[in-house]
Amino acid sequence: MSSGGSSAGDHGGSRGLFAELPDDLRAIEAVLFAAAEPMSVDDISEHVGAGIDVKAALAVLEAHYAGRGINLVARAKRWHFQTAADMAHLLRRERDESRKLSRAAVETLAIIAYHEPVSRAEIEAIRGVQISKGTLDVLMEAGWVRPAGRREVPGRPLTYATTADFLAHFGLESRRDLPGIDDLRAAGLLDPIDAAMEQLVLETGPEGD
Amino acid sequence: MSSGGSSAGDHGGSRGLFAELPDDLRAIEAVLFAAAEPMSVDDISEHVGAGIDVKAALAVLEAHYAGRGINLVARAKRWHFQTAADMAHLLRRERDESRKLSRAAVETLAIIAYHEPVSRAEIEAIRGVQISKGTLDVLMEAGWVRPAGRREVPGRPLTYATTADFLAHFGLESRRDLPGIDDLRAAGLLDPIDAAMEQLVLETGPEGD
Amino acid sequence: MRISASPATLRPMNETDSLFEDTPQIGSADRLTLDLDGWEGPLDLLLTLARSQKVDLAKISILALVEQYLAFIADAKKLKLEIAADYLVMAAWLAYLKSCLLLPKDPEQDPSPEELAMRLQLRLQRLSAMREAGARLMARDRLGRDVFLRGAPEGLRVIRKAQWQVDLYDLISAYGAMRARNVPAVHVVGRRPVMTLDEALTRVERMLGINVEWTRLEAFLPETQDGEYRKSALASSFVAALELAKRGKLEIEQQDAFAPLYVRSA
C-alpha cells in the first residue's frame, strides 16, 4: 500500500502496514522502549537472552523505524528510541533559555570535540584567550566533557575529551559524525599549528606568498 | 509497497514491514512516546493540531501496534504506550549471584536455629554483640528465617524462627538433626567449658522449651 | 565603554549571530559599536576584522588586516578608552609584522615575515573553524530540545538474587565457636587446705606444754601428705611462734639465716 498520499481515514483497512513481528524483534523493541537509559548490544542481550542475534535485529529495527514518528538510533554504540527530529515543533517544551551556553563554552566544547584529547593550554592557544574558571566546569556539569588523563610532557597537563552523553545529546553516532570533521582534518586545521605550518610550507614552498 | 505478505522470518529484506507512516500518525506516535503521562484525545489534539482526526488515527495505531513488543493502550480514556504483556518478564531480569554470607549472619542464623523462637535481644545476648538490622533482613530475604510471633513479656518482642527452606537448604529433616552440644564438643567445635556452663546450655539448649 | 563609529560590520558576534549567519545587520548601518569587552581577546577582534574583508580566510590580505587592527586600536586610544594589555601587545606585534612585510626581504630573517603572516592566518582559520563547528553543533537536533526520549519508560531492572554460600558445617561451627566465646564464664575459687593462725596458736601452745627442750618448729606441724597444707601450717606456726614469743610464753633461736628454727617454752 502507499502511505504517502493516504489520509488518516483509510488506514483502518491496511492491516499489513505493521505486520506482526517475530518475537526476537518484539523482545528488543520492548526492552529498548522500557529502558530508561541507552543500551549497548550486551545490555540488550542480557535482557532478551543469549539466543538472539541482537546486532542483526537492531539493524532491521533501525531501518524499519527510520520513517516513523519514533526512531531507533545508536549513539556511542548505545541504542535508544527517540522522537523524530521533524516532530520537534510539536514537542518542544517551554524551557528556560537561561541554560544557554556562553560563546566561550560553545567554542571550548567544539575545540574539545574536534581535537580530543586536548589540554587547557591547547584550547587557550586556539581561542587566543584564557579560559575562565567556570567554562570547563559548565561543560563537565552538563556531562559532555570529562578529564581524559594527563599528557606525558613536562608539566603533565590534564587533557579533556567528550563523553557518550555528548554524542547522545548532539545526535552523533561517533566523533566521526562531527560536522565537517573530515574537511577540517584534510585542511590541516585540526593539527597542532607547527605541524600545520610545515604542511603549508611544503605545499606552497618556502618562498610562497 | 505491500507488507502484508511478508513472513515474520524474512524481516531482513522486507522493507515494507514497517511502511513509512503519514505525518499525522507519526506525530501522534511521537507525542505519545515523549509524554510523561497517559494522554486524552484532547491532550493529543492540543499538541498535534486541530486538523488531525486523533480518534481515528489512534484506532489505526492501536490496531497496528497490537502484534508488537509495545502496545498502544487506552486506560480510562487516556492513551499510552506500554510494553506488551508477554514481554514484561524481560524487563525484570533476575540474576543469581553467589555470595558469601557474613559471619554475623551465619552466627545469627545458628542462634535462631538452636534457640527458636528467639527475640533479637536474646540473639544479641548470646552473640555478645548487637546485630544490625540488615543481618536479619538478609536471612529473611534468603528465605531461611521468618518472624514467629511476639513473646508475651513486657515490650512484646518479636521472635524469629527458621523456615522449611532453611531445613531444605542445609539438608536437615528437622531441627532435631542439628548436632547437640555434646556432638559439637566431640567434633572439637566447642572449647572446653565447665560443668556449670554445660548445665546452662542444657537448660536453654537445642531441645529447650 | 561604547562608542559609535563605522563601519557596520565591526560588531562582536554573539552566538545568535553565528547560528543565523545571514541575519541582516540592519539598523546599525553607520555605527560601530566599539566594545572591547565584547570581544574575546585580540584574536577574536582580528577574526571579526578579517571577516569584514569578505573573502575566504585563506585569501585575506594580512597587510590590510594589520592596518584595520592598528586603526581600530588608534581610534580607541583617541577616545581615551582603556585598552587591555593583550590588545596592545597584539598591536605592537602587528606593527612589527607590518614593517617586516613592507621592508625589503631579508633572507637571513627566521622566521620570515611571510611565515609569521601565514601563522596568523592559520590561527584565524582555526578559530573560525571551531567557532563554526560550535555553531553547527548547537544547531543540531539536540536531545531534550528537539528530539526526546520516552517520557515515561517503565525502566529495566536486573534483580540480583543472592545465592548465599553457607553450609551446615559453617552453621554449626559458628555456633560452637560462639558458645565457647560468649557464654559468660563462671569462676569458682577452689577451697585450698590451709591452717589458720588461730589453729596454729592453739596447736603450738598445747604442744609446748609437752616439749620443754629446744625443738625444731617443723616438729609442731601435723603429719600430712599434702604439701600445700604443710606449707600453710609452717607459715601459720611460725607466725604463732612469733606471737607466743611476744607474749613471753616461748623463746625462739636461729643460728644463721635460713638455719633451722628452734623453740622452747619460756
pLDDT score recorded for residue A100: 80
pLDDT score recorded for residue C186: 61
Percent of chain C with pLDDT over 70: 81
Out of C161, C171, C173, closest to residue B95 by CB: C161
The answer to whether residue A151 is domain-embedded is yes
- Single residue among A89, A113, A137 that ends a domain in this structure: A89
pLDDT score recorded for residue A204: 61
CATH number of the domain enclosing A46? 1.10.10.10
Cα A197 to Cα C118: distance, rounded to the nearest angstrom: 8
Percent of chain C with pLDDT over 90: 13
Contact A127 C127 (CB under 8 A): yes
B84 and B121 together in one domain: no
The answer to whether residue A2 is domain-embedded is no
User: Does residue C190 surpass a pLDDT of 80?
Assistant: no
Number of domains composing chain A: 2
Cell of A1: 500500500
| Closest approach of A76 to chain C, Cα-based (Å) | 14
pLDDT score recorded for residue A117: 93
> Please, are residues C117 and C62 in contact by the beta-carbon 8 Å criterion?
yes
Residue B63 belongs to what domain range?
Answer: 19-89
Over the stretch A59-74, which tens digit does the pLDDT of each residue have? Answer: 999 998 998 999 999 9
Chain A residues inside the 8 Å CB shell of B64: 11, 17-18
pLDDT score recorded for residue A208: 40
pLDDT score recorded for residue C259: 87
Mean pLDDT score of chain A, rounded to an integer? 83
| Closest approach of B36 to chain A, Cα-based (Å) | 12
pLDDT score recorded for residue B195: 40
Cα A140 to Cα A166: distance, rounded to the nearest angstrom: 10
A75 and A151 together in one domain: no
The answer to whether residue A1 is domain-embedded is no
The answer to whether residue B130 is domain-embedded is yes
B100 and B138 together in one domain: yes
- Single residue among A66, A89, A112 that ends a domain in this structure: A89
B39 and B140 together in one domain: no
Over the stretch A91-143, which tens digit does the pLDDT of each residue have? Answer: 876 554 446 888 899 999 999 999 999 999 999 999 988 888 789 999 999 89
The strand pairing partners of A79, in sequence order, are A39, A74
Q: Compute CA distances A21 → A12, B9, B69, B72, whole Å.
A: 19, 9, 8, 15
Contact B26 A69 (CB under 8 A): yes
CA C168 centroid distance within chain = 44
Contact C156 A36 (CB under 8 A): yes
Q: Spell out the residues 6+ positions from residue A120 whose beta carbon is closer than 8 angstroms to its own.
A: A131, A136, A157, A158, A160
Give residue for cell 551446615: C168
| Closest approach of C36 to chain A, Cα-based (Å) | 13
The answer to whether residue A11 is domain-embedded is no
More confident residue, A9 or C71: C71
Contact A16 B2 (CB under 8 A): yes
pLDDT score recorded for residue A113: 96
Contact B191 C171 (CB under 8 A): no
Confidence band (pLDDT; 50, 70, 90) for C188? low
Contact A18 B22 (CB under 8 A): no
Using N-to-C axis directions, what is the helix angle for C85-102 and C113-138, rounded to 10°?
Answer: 130
A115 and A136 together in one domain: yes
| Closest approach of B61 to chain A, Cα-based (Å) | 9
Out of A81, A109, A172, closest to residue C134 by CB: A109
Chain A residues inside the 8 Å CB shell of C138: 101, 106
Chain B residues inside the 8 Å CB shell of C170: 101, 106
Q: Please compute the mean of the pLDDT values over residues A149-174 and round it to a whole number.
A: 92
pLDDT score recorded for residue A13: 37
pLDDT score recorded for residue A77: 94
pLDDT score recorded for residue C7: 40
Contact B91 C155 (CB under 8 A): yes
The answer to whether residue B13 is domain-embedded is no
Chain C residues inside the 8 Å CB shell of A85: 141, 146-147
The answer to whether residue B209 is domain-embedded is no
A99 and A192 together in one domain: yes
User: Does residue C33 surpass a pLDDT of 60?
Assistant: no
B142 and B126 together in one domain: yes
pLDDT score recorded for residue B90: 85
More confident residue, A196 or A153: A153
Can you give the pLDDT of all 209 residues of chain B as single tens digits? Answer: 333 333 333 333 334 445 567 888 999 999 999 998 899 999 999 888 888 899 999 999 998 888 889 999 998 889 999 989 888 888 887 777 778 888 899 999 999 998 889 999 989 988 888 888 889 998 998 889 999 999 888 889 999 999 988 888 888 888 888 888 777 777 777 654 444 454 455 545 444 34
Out of C155, C171, C177, closest to residue B170 by CB: C171
A50 and A138 together in one domain: no
A84 and A136 together in one domain: no
DSSP labels, B21-59? PPHHHHHHHHHHHH-SS-B-HHHHHHHH-TTS-HHHHHH
Contact C148 A180 (CB under 8 A): no
Over the stretch C216-226, which tens digit does the pLDDT of each residue have? Answer: 888 888 888 88
Regarding pTM above 0.90, the answer is no
B108 and B85 together in one domain: no
- Single residue among B89, B113, B145 that ends a domain in this structure: B89
pLDDT score recorded for residue B145: 93
* B123 contact A CB<8A: no
A100 and A198 together in one domain: yes
Q: Please compute the mean of the pLDDT values over residues A161-187 and round it to a whole number.
A: 93
pLDDT score recorded for residue A41: 95
pLDDT score recorded for residue A58: 95
DSSP labels, B150-204? E-SSTT--EEEEE-HHHHHHTT-SSGGGS--HHHHHHTT-S----HHHHHHHHHH
- Burial label for A2, CB within 10 Å (0-12, 13-18, 19+), is exposed
Mean pLDDT score of chain C, rounded to an integer? 78
B119 and B69 together in one domain: no
Contact A110 C122 (CB under 8 A): no
| Contact map slice: B 83-112 vs A, CB within 8 A | 83-84, 87, 90-91, 93
End-to-end Cα, chain C, rounded Å: 127
More confident residue, C35 or A21: A21
Contact A110 C154 (CB under 8 A): no
Chain B residues inside the 8 Å CB shell of C180: 190-191, 193
| Closest approach of A104 to chain C, Cα-based (Å) | 8
Over the stretch C84-115, which tens digit does the pLDDT of each residue have? Answer: 888 888 999 999 998 888 888 777 777 788 88
Using N-to-C axis directions, what is the helix angle for B41-48 and B54-65, rounded to 10°?
Answer: 110
* B64 contact A CB<8A: yes
The answer to whether residue B52 is domain-embedded is yes
User: Does residue C155 surpass a pLDDT of 60?
Assistant: yes
pLDDT score recorded for residue B19: 56
H or E, element range at A70: strand A70-75
More confident residue, B112 or C177: B112
Query: What's the complex ipTM?
Result: 0.66
